[in-house]
Structure 1
Amino acid sequence: MQISPPKHLARYIRHYIFLENFQEDIKSLRLFTDGSSGLILSEDMNLYSGISEDRMPVSFFYGTLNGYKDFSSKGKFSLIAVVFQPYFLNILLKTSAKDIRNQIVSVEDVLMNKLEVFQEKLFNKENPLTIIKDLNIFFTHFLSERMHSDHHLITATQQYLLQNKGSVTSKHLQYFTGYSERHLERKFEYHMGMSPKKYGNIIRLHYFLSLMNYGIDDKNMTTLSYEAGYSDQSHLIREFKNNIGLTPKQYLNTENKMAVNFIEL
């Protein structure tokens, strides 16, 4: 179940996702980059890193990803994923987004006292829509207390990249913002955890994913890759594998797409 935030929060939160698993078996899961950071809230989830098999915190923030992360889950769970606009985690944690890129940060380490109530609501099986409504109130109050002078620059540039589906040159960005490429790159790294070029590439990849939803076959793969702004099909496949760990065909054959960037392998 995917729920949009109220209009005044849409600049900071892309959407909420509520997921439940009623089975006891082990699932292999993959979270791949969509340019966002986020928060996973659960009451008691057995989630493990796919590489080290270390147990993940019950609730945690995740920074923007360069590619993808694999996990395994064991047993039943319910969770709420709060998918942030990339720069919102920087506002929440008051730290450089570059320093937490590809990182998992336990909620206990930063905002436990403020978010524990939502974990308890999940544990008590309260209506997820009610919990999300309360989260909207929490984030609204939080934002009223802390903002940064660079916020308007970052959000305006992000919207410019989104409107152009990621296909924006550095010269276009310099003209749009009035800042040099290096200055803008430093600002993006601090607030969003990635360069404007990297974020543009992610937007372009997800635009291609949206085109795939209308159906694709061998004959029109090349046509859609050009429409999404790729110079050739090999360029598309390389970007796909770097960011998702699959080829486009393998992605299409993945049956359980739990969210726009969260799949069961």
Structure 2
Amino acid sequence: MQILPPKELLPYIKHYLFLESAADPQKTLRLFSDGNTGMVFLLNQGRLSINRNDHLPQSFLYGQISHFKDLCLIERISFIIVVFQPDGLYKLLGIPAHELKDQIIGLKDIFGQSADRLYDQLMYCKHPTAKLNALNTFFCTLAIQHKSLGQTSFSNVLKYITDHKGRLSVEELLKLSGHNERQMERIFAEQVGMSPKKFGRIVQLHCFLKLLRNKPDGTTLTTISYESGYFDQSHLIRTFKKYTGFTPSIYLNNTSRLTINFMEFQALPDRLSGLYNLS
């Protein structure tokens, strides 16, 4: 289930996701970058690890993802994922985004006892509405405490890139922002955690994914590639594999998508079954 935050939190939070896994002994999921950072709460007794190695905390913050990751789930887990705007976490916490790149940090290391209190509320609230109220209260308090700026001129630059599906030249971006190239690189590193060029490529890829997911019968991959601004199909496939680890046809035909960048495979020996949206 995907839920929008209240209006006052939209400058910081893109949406909340409520997901739950079935009671399979073990499953693996593929996660790749969508240009956003996030916060995750694991609300049952199951465990989650990256690439089958290190077990993750029950609640954690993650920065921008450079490369796709495989997450291993053991036993049943209920998830709440807070998906931030590309610059939302920086505006809320003031931590430079490049310092969080490819990092996973336990919430208690950042928020102390308030993280434990929030986790307990989410764990023991029975209804999704009560969980949502707890999250909104926490983030509204956080925005007030840190005197967050909300919508900024840089937020408008990010929106412009998204509205134009990532297809902006460096020259267009500099003219829009009023900064030189070096300044723009620094701002993106500080507030988003990646370069303007990479952010544009990820936005473009996700525009393609939305078209692919909703493509009418008979529409070819080549047609969608051109509509998304790729030079040709080979250009698309190279970019797609770089960020996701597989081809568009596998994404379309052999995965079950929980969100656009978080999925299970359907035709592998280590079957990734069982996740579904909470209603």
- TM-score class normalised by the smaller sequence: over 0.9
Q: Partners of 1:119 and 1:138 in 2: how far apart?
A: 11
User: Which residue is equivalent to 1:264?
Assistant: 264
Looking at structure 1, the residues matched to 33 and 217 of structure 2 have their Cα atoms a distance apart, in angstroms, of: 24
Deviation of 1:95 after TM superposition, in Å, equals 2.1
- Retained in 1: the 8 A contact 2:21–2:78? yes
Give 1:64-213 correspondences, 5 Å limit.
64-147=64-147, 152-213=152-213
Tell me what 2:274 maps to.
Answer: none
Cα RMSD (Å): 2.0
- Matches for 1:12-91 after TM superposition, within 5 Å: 12-43=12-43, 44-50=45-51, 53-91=53-91
Percent identity reads: 38
Instruction: Give the aligned residue type for 1:179.
Output: H
- Report deviation, 1:146: 2.1
Please give the per-residue CA displacement for 1:157-187, whole angstroms capped at 9, x wherever unaligned: 1011011110001110111111101101101
* 2:5–2:14 contact (8 Å) kept in structure 1: yes
- Native 8 Å contact 2:19 2:79 kept in 1: yes
Number of residue pairs the alignment of both structures matches: 264
Q: In the TM superposition, what whole-angstrom CA distance separates every residue of 1:130-150 from its partner, at most 9, and x where no partner exists?
A: 111221122112112325679
SS in 2 for 1:249: helix
SS at match of 2:129: helix
Task: Give the structure-2-normalised TM-score.
Answer: 0.88
Partner Cα separation in structure 1 for residue 20 and residue 62 of structure 2? 20
Of the structure 1 ranges 116-125 and 157-166, higher mean CA displacement relative to structure 2 is found in: 116-125
Unaligned stretches of 5+ in structure 1?
Answer: none
| Structure 2: distance between partners of 1:246 and 1:146 | 41
Distance in structure 2 (CA, Å) of the matches to 1:49 and 1:110: 21
Q: Distance in 2 between matches of 1:121 and 1:45?
A: 18
Confirm or deny: 8 A CA contact 1:9 1:140 kept in the other structure: yes
State the TM-score, normalized to the length of structure 1: 0.93
- Which moved further from structure 2: 209-218 or 168-177? 209-218
Letter in structure 2 aligned against 1:6: P
Decide whether aligned partners of structure 1 residues 45 and 157 sit closer, same or farther in structure 2, where only a CA change above 3 A counts: farther
Amino acid at match of 1:100: L
